Amino acid sequence: MSRLYSVGKEEAMLAVFSIVPVGVGSSIGDQLAEVLKVVDASGLPYKINAMGTVVEGEWDDVMKLIKQCHSTVKKTGERAFTTIAIDDRKGRPGRLEEKVKSIERRIGKSLKK
Amino acid sequence: MSRLYSVGKEEAMLAVFSIVPVGVGSSIGDQLAEVLKVVDASGLPYKINAMGTVVEGEWDDVMKLIKQCHSTVKKTGERAFTTIAIDDRKGRPGRLEEKVKSIERRIGKSLKK
Amino acid sequence: MSRLYSVGKEEAMLAVFSIVPVGVGSSIGDQLAEVLKVVDASGLPYKINAMGTVVEGEWDDVMKLIKQCHSTVKKTGERAFTTIAIDDRKGRPGRLEEKVKSIERRIGKSLKK
Amino acid sequence: MSRLYSVGKEEAMLAVFSIVPVGVGSSIGDQLAEVLKVVDASGLPYKINAMGTVVEGEWDDVMKLIKQCHSTVKKTGERAFTTIAIDDRKGRPGRLEEKVKSIERRIGKSLKK
């Protein structure tokens, strides 16, 4: 599937998203595990952190993935809150790794990741 | 164009989005005016506030509109930050008006809008 | 209480926030009604919409209010997700009303609010 | 400074924040480097990613740090957009590391971080 994606082209953007299932109790780890399976299988470059998943790709590929994740949560629950933040900069692919490194170079110090 | 949209069907969700053009100076009103022209012409039910635009519709319709708005900003600038928050609840259309009214009924008081 | 706030001073900023109680079921209107009572009683200028509450004030006043709202939700639930977005522009008070009007002047048309 | 913080107490929450300086051009790395210096010096447990900084601590400690970061950006620019998302769960400290591990245990697979 990954060959369908276009990271490395000029049009790639960064996005972070998180989904909060509502109405399934205060433990939402099972739902999030299903979401991360979808992300991991997508072939899109990603990195997860304690508050969300960062992905890199073209608009349509990223949004297709997020829709798939959101739908996964809606399958087992009747309400979901999804937040998405996009940083789209012309001609800057490869930023999933590069953006943090660029800050570290400026500071001259390795940061916690 | 509005007849293409499906608000009123069970699948409608609420979304709020905002776009910050970066690299065009600290006054971004001209870019946002172009965005709001796109929103107003879309036929999707919407309400703007000082921090973003709330729209109601199906996932694909809402995301198509936000992509169009984001692209509008990218035409005149080289970087844009877009944030989206979605509240998707099964079987609850018409919430652009209803959600606030439902809070007001609970409080028994009209709130500032 | 409102005289304690400093909107109108140069340092006022705009913020929008929303709180999602998790673990209390998919109907969260009762919790949000309690939150809006706190907002309405605060004396800070505000406007609610279907996806959040926009407030205007100095950083400390705004954050004090949001903490109070977040705590209100935590009283009856064991988990809460709160999102906050801030637009802080030097020397621009009164933007709760003015920001939308400024877009409308640029477009030459009244927008849905 | 770290001994002033209270991570490990029951009241710790997770927050992710990001700041977009507006009006200083489309390259904002210098401003973000200053922000990360503040974070790194704070003593609060943190992890940065390509879209934001995740911190763990009590509400007041976290908000004090974010205010300091926001002020750092305002020193050299006239406008800043700051977004904050909070996941606050009773009796769950140490989640900066644990939350991702808990997902990995459910999936039975290591994810990209």
Closest CB from B23, B27, B83 relative to D26: B23
- Give the burial class of A69: count Cβ atoms within 10 A of its Cβ; 0-12 exposed, 13-18 middle, 19 or more buried: buried
pLDDT tens figures, C27-84: 899 999 999 999 999 999 999 999 999 999 999 999 999 999 999 999 988 899 999 9
Q: Quick one: average pLDDT of A78-93?
A: 93
Q: Does C83 touch chain B (CB under 8 A)?
A: yes
Whether the pLDDT of residue D43 is over 60: the answer is yes
Report the complex ipTM: 0.91
Q: Which of C51, C72, C107 best tests the B interface by mutation, with the highest count of B CBs <10 A?
A: C51
Name the least confident of A9-13, B8-12, B85-89. Answer: B8-12
Tell me, letter by letter, the H, E, C secondary structure of A52-83.
EEEEEECHHHHHHHHHHHHHHHHHHCCEEEEE
Assigned token pair, B55: 């729209």
Neighbours of chain A (3+ CB pairs under 8 A): B, C, D
Name the least confident of A68-77, B10-19, D4-13. Answer: D4-13
What burial letters (b/e) apply to C2-25, b meaning 16+ CB within 10 Å?
eeebebeeebbbbbbbbbbbbbbb
DSSP letter string over B2-37?
GGG--BTBTT-EEEEEEEEEESS-S--HHHHHHHHH
Which residue is closest to A25 within chain C, CA to CA?
Answer: C23
Measured CA to CA in angstroms, residue C24 lies from A49, A98, B10, C50 at distances of 26, 41, 23, 20
Phi, psi (rounded to 5 degrees) for C94 = 75, 20
Phi, psi (rounded to 5 degrees) for A45 = -60, 130
User: Which secondary-structure segment (H or E) carries C86?
Assistant: strand C79-89
Tell me, letter by letter, the H, E, C secondary structure of chain A.
CHHHCCECECCCEEEEEEEEEECCCCCCHHHHHHHHHHHHHHCCCEEEECCEEEEEECHHHHHHHHHHHHHHHHHHCCEEEEEEEEEEECCCCCHHHHHHHHHHHHHCCCCCC
Whether the pLDDT of residue C6 is over 50: the answer is no
Q: What band does C13 get if pLDDT is binned at 50, 70 and 90?
A: very high
From CA A16, how far away is CA A53, in angstroms rounded?
5
Among B residues 42-81, those touching chain D with beta carbons less than 8 Å apart = 77-79, 81
Phi, psi (rounded to 5 degrees) for A42 = -75, -25
From CA B43, how far away is CA B11, in angstroms rounded?
17
Degrees to nearest 5, angle at CA C51 with C47 and C56: 30
pLDDT tens figures, A37-55: 999 999 999 999 999 999 9
pLDDT of residue B94: 83
pTM for this predicted structure = 0.93
Percent of chain D surpassing pLDDT 70: 91
pLDDT of residue C104: 96
pLDDT of residue D6: 47
pLDDT tens figures, B1-54: 344 454 445 589 999 999 999 988 888 999 999 999 999 999 999 999 999 999
What's the order of all strands across the beta sheet hosting D13-22?
Answer: C46-49, C52-57, C13-22, C79-89, D79-89, D13-22, D52-57, D46-49
Closest CB from B59, B74, B90 relative to A88: B74
CB atoms within 10 A of CB A107: 14
Whether the pLDDT of residue B91 is over 90: the answer is no
Which residue is closest to C85 within chain B, CA to CA?
Answer: B51
CB atoms within 10 A of CB A97: 12
Q: Quick one: average pLDDT of D2-8?
A: 46
Q: Quick one: average pLDDT of D83-89?
A: 97
From CA C32, how far away is CA C38, in angstroms rounded?
10
User: Which secondary-structure segment (H or E) carries B72?
Assistant: helix B59-76
D23 and D88 in contact (C-beta within 8 Å)? no
